[in-house]
Amino acid sequence: MTDTLVFDTAVIGGGSAGFGAAYASASSGAKTVLIERMPGLGGMSVFGGVNCWEPGYGGLGIHLALARDLIASGGGCVIHDDRIAVGPGRPYANCLPAPDREYGTTFKVPDPAHVHDTDHFMFEPEAMSGLMRRYLESAGCRIMTLTEMKEPKLNGDRIESVYAEDPGGCHLIKADVFVDCTDDASLSRMCGCRFAVGEDSSSDTGEYSTPDEARENAVNGVSLIFRCSPTVSGHIDGMPDKLRDVDLSDFIRRLDRREIYSVVNHYPCGDVNVNMLPTMDGGEYLGLGKEAGHVMEARVWAYLIWLQKTFGFPYRMKSVFPVHGVRENVRIIGRYRLSETDLRLGMFSQPLAGRLIAFADHMIDVHGTSKLKRRLSPWLDVPYGIPYDCLLTGECENLLTASHSSSLTHIAAASVRLSRTVMALGEAAGYAASMAARSGKLAADIDIEELKKKCKTEECTAQLRGLWNIG
């Protein structure tokens, strides 16, 4: 039997962006539901092992409170590169707890001249997931985990409902506004919204660095992140029997040529999180389809064994994270596409500078796609903002798409995708959804000045001026 549940805002996907959206909507007084198919919250940040926020600006939103609580509970810490340069002698960066550093030190973007001066923020996945749940519960949000969103029902340009299937059955979810925070814009695509994947073409985006031809299979490399515990140096793990059928000869040759390196981030308890850059090229991942997970898992074990044998890496395998680290997925083509041009012009000069609801300053971190027309400089001269219009689809009037699948080009997504940034996009979408539901207006017609106030646009601009030393 299907019951009907009615909300002001329905948020689909409970990763970083979905958490931000649900929290902002519920804490603004809107009756809010969050639908997530995994058993807990946090998405890629938790289940994909991306238990680390890279340095960079994330605005003045809820990530500040999350980090504060995680540090206070022992479930989070600021980590710092041990300053031994990555190279053939040691192809991994080692990032250790830095108890004397505060969370605020992680806001400063890496300066190419002082890469080692910047800090990351590391957290225990269960601690993050549990804290997100407590925040949402205290804001009055209904959380439906182990629940899959299916089959949206449209009435003209409006989404009326979606089905939410959990182990106990199916619910019809009705809402005034829907926020798509899935990792692959699945709600937006089911509703017929346009989307792009892979490298764009220069004629589509007008970007300086993008190639002439679009290439759908040129997506960022994929990492299967794993966690290890300390052990004695000299310990060598064994390849699990179920993975012995994978031919690893070419992969091992690449390791011996030092073509793959990794970031080793330390948890507060002394365990380490290993993020290979990457485990698999994005095009190969797409080509292998369902087989990709099996091959990546074999590579992960081979990599750890190689580290143990070659460098005496004093850690043993604890677990491989269940979700593949797919850096790049589909991106909707919404009312406005944030592009390299916006990133290069920066927050004071970019075309929609008056409509910014989130900010970022992370480098353009493209993993593994090197066919960009000119050499793409990863560094920005000035932070940039993300306009509200990147969350609006052209097709559905009561839908916002807020995640790394928002309306971004391939190049822009390589900077925006950080957890802190997408959490800020989610928060903006949650505020906008509650405003639309309260006023009965279309998502596109809400008062942008009121939204900017809720997103603290002015305060963020002032803070960024200080952090970046902008006169």
Ligand X SMILES: Cc1cc2nc3c(=O)[nH]c(=O)nc-3n(C[C@H](O)[C@H](O)[C@H](O)COP(=O)(O)OP(=O)(O)OC[C@H]3O[C@@H](n4cnc5c(N)ncnc54)[C@H](O)[C@@H]3O)c2cc1C
The residues that touch ligand X, with contacts defined as CB under 6 A, are 12-18, 35-38, 43-45, 48, 50, 52-54, 148-149, 181-183, 186, 223, 275, 325-327, 403-404, 417-420, 422
Residue carrying the six token digits 């919204």: 193
Cα torsion at 154, 14, 175, 328 (round to 10°)?
Answer: -30
Nearest to ligand X of 29, 169 (CB atom) = 169
Nearest to ligand X of 45, 210 (CB atom) = 45
Six token digits for residue 442: 């279309």
C-alpha separations of 411 from 186, 197, 238, 401, 445 in Å: 21, 11, 39, 18, 29
Rounded distance between C-alpha atoms, residue 244 and residue 298, angstroms: 8
Nearest to ligand X of 52, 70 (CB atom) = 52
Nearest to ligand X of 211, 221 (CB atom) = 221
Nearest to ligand X of 211, 412 (CB atom) = 412
To ligand X, the closest distance from the beta carbon of 465 in angstroms equals: 23
Q: Return the axis-axis angle of helices 16-27 and 125-139, rounded to nearest 10°.
A: 20
C-alpha separations of 383 from 12, 115, 152, 260, 399 in Å: 29, 17, 37, 30, 28
To ligand X, the closest distance from the beta carbon of 332 in angstroms equals: 12
Rounded distance between C-alpha atoms, residue 78 and residue 84, angstroms: 18
To ligand X, the closest distance from the beta carbon of 427 in angstroms equals: 12
To ligand X, the closest distance from the beta carbon of 97 in angstroms equals: 16
Provide the 10 A C-beta neighbour count for residue 104: 12
| Segments in 15-142 forming alpha helices (H) | 16-27, 44-47, 63-73, 125-139
To ligand X, the closest distance from the beta carbon of 238 in angstroms equals: 25
Six token digits for residue 417: 């995708």
To ligand X, the closest distance from the beta carbon of 120 in angstroms equals: 7
Nearest to ligand X of 93, 317 (CB atom) = 93
Nearest to ligand X of 58, 211 (CB atom) = 58
To ligand X, the closest distance from the beta carbon of 461 in angstroms equals: 22
Nearest to ligand X of 398, 421 (CB atom) = 421
Nearest to ligand X of 425, 437 (CB atom) = 425
To ligand X, the closest distance from the beta carbon of 15 in angstroms equals: 2
- Closest by Cα among 260, 195, 208, 211 to 369: 211
Pairing mode of beta strands 384-387, 356-360? antiparallel
C-alpha separations of 161 from 13, 34, 153, 326, 453 in Å: 15, 14, 5, 29, 30
To ligand X, the closest distance from the beta carbon of 9 in angstroms equals: 15
Nearest to ligand X of 20, 385 (CB atom) = 20
What is the DSSP secondary structure assignment for residue 406, as one 8-state letter? S
What are the residues whose beta carbons fall under 8 Å from the beta carbon of 279, sequence distance 6 or more? 221, 222, 223, 224, 296, 299, 300, 303, 325
Nearest to ligand X of 211, 419 (CB atom) = 419
To ligand X, the closest distance from the beta carbon of 296 in angstroms equals: 11
Rg of the Cα atoms in the chain: 22
C-alpha separations of 158 from 189, 191, 342 in Å: 14, 9, 30
What is the DSSP secondary structure assignment for residue 305, as one 8-state letter? H
Rounded to 5°, angle at Cα 119 from 70 and 421: 70
Please report, as a single letter, which amino acid is at residue 206. Answer: G
- Closest by Cα among 15, 27, 2 to 431: 27
To ligand X, the closest distance from the beta carbon of 171 in angstroms equals: 12
- Closest by Cα among 7, 14, 9 to 423: 14
